[in-house]
């Protein structure tokens, strides 16, 4: 008897230990963002959940422990080179025009790039058009922001015929969790806001995160199109240097704002990465959500108005992709001013933010002008 029970016990202990290890390893790969870079990764996730009944508990605990920082999927999906005929270029489709600019900085003219979201489109609410479907189904690779930014396109991205890899540029980016620093907004949130909690998708507002995008894009392009790997690597290196300069420039610019005035009120929660990286606090948002699909209650707006008055807030920063009407009303009631900024879309070529670097520089300039004096 003893001889049969003992190996059984050993096996049980070993399995328990393995489950424990799996649980500890979970936070790196399991985040609320289910925008898997490829179907394979998504399958792996759902298998984890199905097979392990204790998993959801582990997950809840882990989320509590590091609700300030979680990491989006940890690695690129396995990519195999695309068989391109003579003169044929890799066909790359991107969702947002910010992702599009960064991809084009790395790819140069080595690829055929199609960008789906036009200038001024709100990525939270954008719906794919028939032309978009054609491009998506014709692509060799699709780069998205991910983290549910493109939430109204998710079903289209999940159901493509051609099966091109869909890659989030945010793989490996340390994400901020919405709700962590907003306890009182959290309380006021209604049920319909709940699905908008989780990883904040506006990662590009910290330049260092876009340096990680560059690594991901260069790695994916090189794997799919190894003939041009040297060019992708050289472009990525040159662009990383520009980004590092931009990061330092932003630090210098924001240093001119007195510390007690580094308080931001925005249209929705889209500046947390900027705040975290460059020393600001987001004290309020018109829409208490990381998505513009949510809407504020009368109670939310009254609370925001009180906060603006109490903290002596002078500016409400409103992205160009958002209807500024509610912000304008609060501004006129409180004596604050509405300051337009570029956050979710570039401007056209004649505007102040035709590239990602211009977008960051212009938005920070607007913030500095509004708050510095």
Compute CA distances 101 → 77, 115, 147, 250, 355, whole Å: 22, 9, 19, 19, 6
Q: Can you spell out the DSSP letters for 107-167?
A: HGGGEEEEE-SPTT--TTT----HHHHHHHHT-SEEEE--TTTTGGGHHHHHT-SS---EE
Rule CB under 5 A: is residue 270 a binding residue for Zn ion? yes
Rule CB under 5 A: is residue 363 a binding residue for Zn ion? no
How many C-beta atoms lie closer than 10 Å to residue 21's C-beta?
10
Q: At what angle do helices 55-65 and 2-29 cross, to 10 degrees?
A: 40
Q: Which is nearer to Zn ion, 125 or 242 (CB)?
A: 125
Residues in contact with Zn ion, total (CB under 5 A)?
1
Q: What is the C-alpha to C-alpha distance for residues 110 and 112, in angstroms, rounded to an integer?
A: 7
Q: Which is nearer to Zn ion, 270 or 276 (CB)?
A: 270
Q: Which is nearer to Zn ion, 177 or 222 (CB)?
A: 177
Residues 64-93, one symbol each (x = binds Zn ion by CB under 5 A, - = not), give: ------------------------------
Q: Residue length, the chain?
A: 373
- Going edge to edge, which strands form the sheet with 90-94? 111-115, 90-94, 141-144, 166-168
Contacts of 209 (CB under 8 A, 6+ apart): 170, 173, 174, 203, 273
Q: Which two tokens stand for residue 281?
A: 């606090």
Let me know: does 284 contact 308? Beta carbons within 8 Å. Answer: yes
Q: Which is nearer to Zn ion, 105 or 345 (CB)?
A: 345
Residue showing the smallest CB distance to Zn ion in the complex? 270
Q: Which is nearer to Zn ion, 270 or 320 (CB)?
A: 270
Q: Looking at 151-159, 224-232, 243-251, 269-277, which segment touches Zn ion (CB under 5 A)?
A: 269-277
Minimum CB distance to Zn ion, residue 208 (Å): 19
- Tell me which residues in 138-197 interact with Zn ion (CB under 5 A): none
Q: Looking at 92-100, 110-118, 160-168, 265-273, which segment touches Zn ion (CB under 5 A)?
A: 265-273
Rule CB under 5 A: is residue 285 a binding residue for Zn ion? no
Minimum CB distance to Zn ion, residue 312 (Å): 26
Minimum CB distance to Zn ion, residue 202 (Å): 6
Q: Looking at 7-15, 53-61, 264-272, 276-284, which segment touches Zn ion (CB under 5 A)?
A: 264-272
User: Which residues here bind Zn ion, judged by CB under 5 A?
Assistant: 270
């Amino acid at each position: 008897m003893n001889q049969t029970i003992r190996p059984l016990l050993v096996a049980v202990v070993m399995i328990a230990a393995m489950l424990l290890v799996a649980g500890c390893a979970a936070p790196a790969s399991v985040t609320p963002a289910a925008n898997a870079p490829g179907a394979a990764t998504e399958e792996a996730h759902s298998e984890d959940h199905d097979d392990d009944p204790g998993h959801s508990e582990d997950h809840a605990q882990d989320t509590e422990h590091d609700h300030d920082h979680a990491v989006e999927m940890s690695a690129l999906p396995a990519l195999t080179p695309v068989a391109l005929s003579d003169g044929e270029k890799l066909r790359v489709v991107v969702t947002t025009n910010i992702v599009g600019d960064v991809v084009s900085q790395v790819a140069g003219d080595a690829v055929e790039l199609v960008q789906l979201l036009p200038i001024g489109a709100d990525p939270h609410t954008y719906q794919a058009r028939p032309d978009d479907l054609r491009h998506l189904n014709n692509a060799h690779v699709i780069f998205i922001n991910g983290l549910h930014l493109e939430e109204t396109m998710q079903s289209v991205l999940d159901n493509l015929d051609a099966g091109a890899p869909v890659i989030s540029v945010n793989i490996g980016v340390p994400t901020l969790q919405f709700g962590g620093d907003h306890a009182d907004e959290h309380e006021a949130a209604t049920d319909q806001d709940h699905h908008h909690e989780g990883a904040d998708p506006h990662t590009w507002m910290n330049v260092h995160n876009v340096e990680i995008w560059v690594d991901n894009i260069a790695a994916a392009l090189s794997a799919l199109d190894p003939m041009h790997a040297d060019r992708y690597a050289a472009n990525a290196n040159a662009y990383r240097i520009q980004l590092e300069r931009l990061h330092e420039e932003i630090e210098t610019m924001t240093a001119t704002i007195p510390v007690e005035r580094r308080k931001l009120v925005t249209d929705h929660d889209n500046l947390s990465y900027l705040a975290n990286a460059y020393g600001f606090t987001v004290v309020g948002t018109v829409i208490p959500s990381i998505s513009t699909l949510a809407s504020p209650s009368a109670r939310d707006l009254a609370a925001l108005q009180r906060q603006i008055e109490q903290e002596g807030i002078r500016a409400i920063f409103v992205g160009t992709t958002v209807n500024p009407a509610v912000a304008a009303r609060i501004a006129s009631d409180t004596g604050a001013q509405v300051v337009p900024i570029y956050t979710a879309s570039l401007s056209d070529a004649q505007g102040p933010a035709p590239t990602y670097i211009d977008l960051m520089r212009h938005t920070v300039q607007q913030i500095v002008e509004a708050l510095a004096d």
